[in-house]
Amino acid sequence: MGSNRQHLRDSSNRQLIERRTRQEEKSDTTKPSNISSFYKLTVDERLDKLKDFSGLSNDEVELVKSGNLPLSSAQRMIENVVGVLPIPLGIAVNFLINGKDYLIPMAIEEPSVVAAASHAAKLARLTGGFQASSTDPFMIGQVQIVRSKSPKDAEKLILASKKEILDRANEQDPVLVSKGGGAKDLQVRVLPTITGTMVIAELLVDCRDAMGANVVNTMAESVAPMLEKLSGGRANLRIISNLADKRVARSSVRFSKEALGGEEVVDGIVDAYAFAAADPYRCATHNKGVMNGVTAVCLATGNDTRAIEAGAHAYAARTGHYAPLTRWSKERNGDLEGSIEMPVAVGIIGGITAVHPTAKICLKILGVKTARELGEVIASVGLAQNLAALRALASEGIQHGHMSLHARNIAAMAGAEGETIDQVAAAMVSEKKVRLDRAKELVAQMPVSKNRTAAHQEANQPKKHP
C-alpha cells in the first residue's frame, strides 16, 4: 500500500515535470494565435498569416488551398475508388493551451463550428487559456478465447506466462520498442456471456506517436496461438479496443463571468450541463457539440474519426450511465470553470497522416511534437466547442449564429450570386424565414444586373462572422 502511494506520488511528480518541460519547450517558439479579424480576411490573406505562423512553404500553401488528393494516393487508401470528396478546411484562431499558441485546422461541413471554437478560445485567453494533460498513449488489444474447459485455470496459466507473451508481441515491432513503446502489460478477464464463459486476454500497448491500430492488431494476432495453447480454448477475435480508457486527455479552463455576458449566462451554462448530466437525450446532443470540434481536428489531421467517436461515447457511458464528457461549475466569484476528460486515440505518424498531403500540412500548422500533445489540443478544442454551444444556447439561442451562414447557402441555392447572397441571407435572417422558397422570392425581387455583376466578386468576398 505504502509503496503504491509512493509510486503514485513519483508518477504524478514525473507527469508534472514532463508537463513543465513541455510547456517550456512550447512557449519559446510560437507566434500569437489571436490574429485580429481573421474571419474578415480573404482566403489568400488568411493563407499568408498561416504561412507566417507555421512556416509553410509556397507548395504547402498551394496544397492547402487546392485540397488536392491525387487519385493515386486515394487508390492506396481505399478500394473501388472513383474520386475524392473535398470538404472545407477552416482555421480556428486564438487557442492558448499550456501556454503555447495554436492555430487549429478543422475539416468540417457545418457552419458556425470554426467561428464558435475561435470565439470560445478568445474568451479563454483572457483568463490564461486551457490547461491540458494526458496519460501515456496506451491502447488495449483484445484476444477473445472461447471454449476453454477451465477459464479460471486458463487465466492463471496465461498470467504465469506474461513475460513470454509480451516478448512475442514485442517481436512484431522492434522500432516501436526501440522508441520506448511496445506491449507493456497483459491482463486477463473471465467473462460470462450468452454463449458461455470466455477468457479475454488484453495486451496494453504503448503506441507512442502512432494511433496504433495496426501494431496492436498485429500483436494480438501474434500471441493468439500461445493463448490457445495455455487456455486449451480457441482464439476468436483478435482486435484493438476503441474504448481507449488508458489513453486519456484532460483539459480545463476558466471563463470570467464578464467575458461570458454576466452571471446569468454562467448559471444558464451550469444548468445546461446539469440537464445533460441528468438526461441521455440532452447528453447525446451535448456530447455531439463536443465532438463537432474533436472530429473536425481529427479529420483534418488524418486521424480515424470513427475510432475517436466510438471511444468518446463508450467512455461517456463507462459507469453504466451515459454522461457528459465535460463538466461545468460556478466558482465562488461567479466565474465559470470547465473541464473535459476523454480518450483520444490519435497519432501523428503512420496511417493516413503519412500519406494524405493536407493532413501532413495540418499537423505542421498545429506544430504538435507528439501524439499526446495532439490529444491535449483536441480535448481543449472539444471543451471550447462545448462552451460556445452552451453559451449560445443559454443566451441568444443557437439559431442566430447558425442561420447566418446557413442562410448564405440557401440564398446561393436559390440562385443568388455575389453580394446578393449576403443581402438575401440578411433579409431571411431578420425575417426569421431562412427557407428556400423565401430565398427564391427575394432573389426574384433583386435587379438582375446587380445579381450578375456582383457574381465575380463572390470568390474573394469576406464571409460574415456567424
Which residues are catalytically annotated?
110, 288, 304, 402
Beta bridge pairs of residue 41: none
Check residue 286 for interaction with ligand MEV (CB under 6 A). yes
Of 142-150, 287-295, 356-364, 424-432, which part binds ligand MEV (CB under 6 A)?
Answer: 287-295
Strand order in the sheet with 182-193: 182-193, 196-206, 138-146, 234-241
Check residue 398 for interaction with ligand MEV (CB under 6 A). yes
268 grid coordinates: 444558464
What letter does residue 208 receive in the DSSP assignment?
Answer: T
Check residue 289 for interaction with ligand MEV (CB under 6 A). yes
Check residue 327 for interaction with ligand MEV (CB under 6 A). no
The single residue among 23, 217, 285, 399 that binds ligand MEV, judged by CB under 6 A, is: 285
Question: Where would I find the H helices in 301-398?
Answer: 305-316, 351-355, 357-366, 371-393
φ, ψ for residue 306, nearest 5 deg = -70, -40
How many residues of this chain bind ligand MEV (CB under 6 A)?
10
Residue nearest ligand MEV, CB atom distance: 289
| Cα 223–Cα 227–Cα 228 angle in degrees, nearest 5 | 120
At closest approach, how far in Å is the CB of 112 from ligand MEV? 8
At closest approach, how far in Å is the CB of 328 from ligand MEV? 12
Nearer to ligand MEV, 387 or 421 (CB): 387
φ, ψ for residue 144, nearest 5 deg = -95, 120
At closest approach, how far in Å is the CB of 341 from ligand MEV? 18
DSSP of 398-444: SHHHHHHHHHHHHHHHTT--THHHHHHHHHHHHHT---HHHHHHHHH
CA distance 106 to 439: 29
Of 129-137, 166-174, 283-291, 376-384, which part binds ligand MEV (CB under 6 A)?
Answer: 283-291
- The dihedral over CA atoms of 96, 101, 106, 111, expressed in degrees to the nearest 10, equals 50
Nearer to ligand MEV, 243 or 389 (CB): 389
At closest approach, how far in Å is the CB of 287 from ligand MEV? 8
Using the structure block, give the residue that is written with the C-alpha cell 478500394.
79
CA distance 116 to 106: 12
Helix (H) or strand (E) holding 25: helix 2-27
The single residue among 134, 161, 241, 292 that binds ligand MEV, judged by CB under 6 A, is: 292
Nearer to ligand MEV, 268 or 289 (CB): 289
Nearer to ligand MEV, 241 or 292 (CB): 292
The single residue among 65, 179, 288, 330 that binds ligand MEV, judged by CB under 6 A, is: 288
At closest approach, how far in Å is the CB of 298 from ligand MEV? 16
The single residue among 371, 389, 411, 425 that binds ligand MEV, judged by CB under 6 A, is: 389
366 grid coordinates: 498545429
In the range 97-116, which residues lie near ligand MEV by CB under 6 A?
110
* Binding interface with ligand MEV (CB under 6 A): 110, 285-286, 288-289, 292, 389-390, 393, 398
